[in-house]
Amino acid sequence: MAEGGQDRETGRKTVAVVGAGIVGVASALWLQRDGHDVVLIDRGEPGDGTSYGNGGILASCAVVPVTVPGLFLKAPKMLFSPNEPLFLKWSYLPKLMPWLLRYISHANAKDTKRIAEALCPIIGDSLADHQALAAGTPAEKWLVPSDYLYLYRDRAHFEEDAFGWSVRKVHRFEWDELEGPEFQAYDPVFAKEIGFAAVLKNHGRIADPGRYVKDLAAHFVANGGRRITAEVTDFSRENGRVTGVRAGGETIPCEAAVLATGSWSKDLTGKLGLTVPLESERGYHIELFEPSMMPKSPSMIASGKFVATPMEGRLRLAGIVEFGGLEASPSRAPFDLLMRNITAAIPGLTWKKTEEWMGHRPAPSDSIPLIGPVPGVENAYLGYGHHHVGLTGGPKTGRLISQMISGKTPNIDLAPYAPSRFQ
């Protein structure tokens, strides 16, 4: 087989996967299992970015996007309140505006339902998708099947989210409703002011997301995969095909290329001839080490729009939406809000130390990930743009990309995710 070429008898290809987060690592593993020679390239270590800092929940039910009906009217008030989980670096607003107008245009019932319809096949069976990905690898130990709770003050507060729950019901998600003493019996750590829980079964959490992705990547290397630490700057192309990836001053030859660099994908996608309306949705987390109390299950506290997830030796609080681009330093206010919210939700909670993190969720303007071939480039594929559900949807995305490169027919309609929608 020629270097970087395809073995025409077996269909074996040399594939370069750019990006070592959950989507890139899942793509690399499934491609390897499908018989390809794979090189995984990233400027950093596997699982060090958003795949490390996420909420750690396999949130299959999270098919409802941020852009729900009414957001256009609510957002201005949220931006000016220190107690709402929406923040903006105001100096970034002029650059943000073209994307923001497109994003807000989808905040209607019809588009919300369409987005949920697209997300469900990618995230709707996340626990099983992760179990299949991690099977036989050291990463299996980090997967924990669990319930997933949405917590409200009372039933009236829950019913304020009726539209979102009606969308979940359409997609056959079911939940138990616990009120007052019944919820306190389920999990007594939460404040009495939290009097209603929607409990979704058949979900899961990852006890250490960063180490999970690192263990998957280590298994990939142990089974013959190559990993290169270098920044990818461009692609080599001939006759409408990618022939190599430019990284660290070298060209790495390949027969197919996968771009899965999350919020940093826009410029490299542009080098492939496609302009994608992509922004960073900045997210924050705080970890409380050796907490005196731990929730029984990962929980979304609806009043603060943040999740509290039990992890290995610590409790992770994650959430917040901030728009401010890729370059600006973290803001103080989101961390302060997370701390106020957790002390209200779990009174009396103590811990030994805290760690803070800010990262970047890749946010296309239509809230649907890009999964599939780049128009006009026969053998280049994209896998990014999952907003809040990258960890949840990473395994299915990787498997779909491997199926496409391997010439297999996926069992879902790929049209909603087609990068060509942005031509």
Q: Could you give phi then psi for residue 72, rounded to 5 degrees?
A: -60, -35
Q: Evaluate whether 7 touches 27 at the Cβ level (below 8 Å).
A: no
Closest CA to 57 of 182, 209, 197: 209
What is the rounded CA–CA span in Å between residue 389 and residue 281?
A: 12
What is the rounded CA–CA span in Å between residue 202 and residue 78?
A: 33
Q: Evaluate whether 200 touches 173 at the Cβ level (below 8 Å).
A: yes
- If one counts every other C-beta atom within 10 angstroms of the C-beta of residue 153, the result is 15
| Rg of the chain (C-alpha set) | 21
Pick the CATH number of 14-422 from 1.10.3210.10, 3.60.9.10, 2.40.50.100, 3.50.50.60: 3.50.50.60
What is the rounded CA–CA span in Å between residue 294 and residue 188?
A: 10
Position 72 scores a pLDDT of: 85
Closest CA to 366 of 304, 422, 299, 300: 422
Which secondary-structure segment (H or E) carries 335? Answer: helix 332-345
pTM score above 0.85:
yes
Closest CA to 212 of 4, 347, 46: 46
SS3 321: strand
What are the 10-residue block averages of pLDDT along the chain, 423 residues in total?
42 96 98 98 96 97 96 89 94 97 97 98 98 98 98 98 98 97 97 97 97 98 98 96 96 98 98 98 98 98 96 97 97 97 97 98 98 96 97 98 96 97 96
Q: Evaluate whether 148 touches 59 at the Cβ level (below 8 Å).
A: yes
Position 77 scores a pLDDT of: 87
CA atoms within 13 A on the CB side of 76: 2
Position 354 scores a pLDDT of: 98
Dump pLDDT digits (tens) for 177-204.
999 999 999 999 999 999 999 999 999 9
Burial (CB count <10 Å: 0-12, 13-18, 19+), residue 29: buried
Domain boundaries, the chain: 14-422
What is the rounded CA–CA span in Å between residue 82 and residue 79?
A: 8
Position 10 scores a pLDDT of: 52
Residues contacting residue 293 through CB under 8 Å, at least 6 positions apart: 189, 346, 348, 349
Position 85 scores a pLDDT of: 94
What is the rounded CA–CA span in Å between residue 155 and residue 267?
A: 46
